[in-house]
Amino acid sequence: MNERLRLPAEWEPHSACWLGFPYLEDEWPFNLAAAQASIAALSRAIAERGEEPVRLLVKNQEIEAHARSLIGEARNLRYVTTDYGDCWLRDTAPLFGHQDNGELGALCFEFNGWGGKHEMPFDERVSGWLTEHLQARRFECPVVLEGGALETNGAGTFLTTASCALNPNRNPGMTREAFEKLIGDRVSMERLIWLDEGLAHDHTDGHIDMIARFVAPDTVICMRPSRGAPNAGVLHSIEEKLRAAGLEVLGLPAPPDLASSRGEPLPASYCNFYIANAAVIVPTYDVPEDEAALGAIADAFPDRDVIGLPAADLLWGGGAFHCVTQAEPSTR
């Protein structure tokens, strides 16, 4: 039998967190400076309060100088110059895991710009560059997918959404059974729990990391809508399916309707947090629900500092903190 990669849970130790500093004016019209400030604050929080080394991709020396001016002096943070498109490394980088010998491996999908909607120069090269840079063994998977579409507990249970994984803009005609076999032939997967769809107005067609996250091997956290909250029907269905799968389900509030400065609806979520070595960095939106969400996540991670950071400016581009981070698991 061919070796399969074990993808760890995000709460397992990390050697580093990889991020990319946004620089494309065309991808961030009217909002590039705010997105850069958001990535700077996130990078600093992970490096210092999260006690996790940060590797921040920068396009060139000019971009690096600008990033430094925003971040200031931060321990545990190093700049790495390379070609990349935008900052969504959860999706353009591989999902890293452990080989049988404990060394680093990488699950590498085919990438088509989120179903052909957002194709940016160099994004398709990030996976190959990073695996070569880290000397990680590649586990090639002939599925068009992004890292934000898979969630794992590190012990063989995975979550995904059919609206993304089986979308005709990625894998036309593919069945659930075929998808499971292609993934399961390459990673240690005991079962895959399917949810139907994600949040409305999500550019990714419903990435799982916007709607449900593992916080322990048999426990997930997801959002519960208050009266009149957006996506109420979808969120109720998500919780029902997770309970039916035998998982313990913890609740988060759902943010109210949010829109960009141009009036475009935004897929706001508290589930898009990043679990660093010593902290959980949670997106907040300057709404009353923020406090309850931070409290619920603190209850789920009593051994970590829980840090809320403003995320609305980053969400304008389609995602939040989990979407822009990619963990490099420790191999020690």
**DSSP-assigned states of every residue in 36-81:** HHHHHHHHHHHHHTS---EEEEESSHHHHHHHHHHH-S-TTEEEEE
| DSSP code, position 5 | B
Cα separation, 25 vs 30, in Å, equals: 8
Cα separation, 178 vs 180, in Å, equals: 5
| DSSP code, position 21 | -
Residue 323 known to be catalytic = yes
Beta bridge partners of 248: 219
**DSSP-assigned states of every residue in 283-322:** EE-SSTHHHHHHHHHHHH-TTSEEEEEE-HHHHTTT--TT
The single residue listed with the structure tokens 């593919």 is 174
Q: Which of 141, 222, 271, 323 is catalytic?
A: 323
- The two three-digit tokens of residue 296, written as one number: 């619920």
Overall residue count recorded for the chain in this entry: 332
Around Cβ 301, how many Cβ atoms within 10 Å?
Answer: 18
Whether 219 and 189 have beta carbons less than 8 Å apart is answered as no
Active-site positions read 323
